[in-house]
A and B are shown apart, each in its own frame.
Chain A
């Protein structure tokens, strides 16, 4: 079985500051991990995915995430926040099948 925990349901950063959204996973098998973003009134859009290749994964819009097996983490980062990054972010895990398990989401607010 797999599960994810997203620490912090709300994160607020200043424009230009580092964005760090936390995700810890639990999986009985080697995991596949994903980050999705959801803008208001829209569906989920894939930011990036980890599929057991490189542990540092680069995604769209300047986001990246690092898979750390020892810490069971897959935190999402972006060096410099932009106003357009304000959205809800979801971490998801699967053990290889097509059944994704999602976290509860982190709402990112970007302030001037």
Chain B
């Protein structure tokens, strides 16, 4: 595997279900991100992890729970979601540095989530 992979690619879940999204990066990066992409809206940054530590929680509801066990893996645990949570969830990674030009983020293909 190369780049950033995400599983599953598609997920349909009921509002009472619990499921998890998985992201794995094979790039040796030290920062990982979750984004939500909804139709006709800008990408919304949800969470940022730098060196496995959460550094950003962009006012995300508690029904979304991230987990970053190591710098290569990132999970998004889902429970009691609402229909408006249906979206494409994108994972990204980058190499962070304290100064100098910013490194770009590399994105996975996303998980298309449908909440019924």
A-contact bits for B84-104, CB 8 A (1 contact / 0 none): 000000101010100001101
* Interface band, chain B: 20 to 34
Given A98-B96, A99-B48, A42 and B109 contact (CB-CB distance below 8 Å): yes
- Can you offer 14 A-B residue contacts whose CB atoms are under 8 A? A36-B107, A43-B6, A43-B90, A43-B108, A43-B109, A43-B110, A44-B90, A44-B92, A45-B107, A46-B105, A49-B104, A51-B102, A53-B101, A100-B45
How many Å lie between the Cα of A28 and that of B108 in the bound state? 30
How many interface contacts (CB-CB < 8 Å) are there between A and B?
55
- In the bound complex, do residue A96 and residue B43 qualify as a contact, i.e. CB atoms below 8 Å apart? no
Report the 7 A-B pairs with minimum CB-CB distance, sorted nearest first. Answer: A43-B107, A51-B101, A102-B43, A44-B107, A32-B102, A43-B109, A102-B42
* Interface band, chain A: 20 to 34
How many Å lie between the Cα of A45 and that of B43 in the bound state? 14
Q: Which of A43, A99, A104 contacts B40 (CB 8 A)?
A: A104
A52 CB within 8 Å of chain B: yes
A106 CB within 8 Å of chain B: no
Residues of A within 8 A of B (CB): 9, 32, 34, 36, 41-46, 49, 51-53, 90, 94, 96, 98-105
Q: Which residues of A contact B45 (CB under 8 A)?
A: 99-100
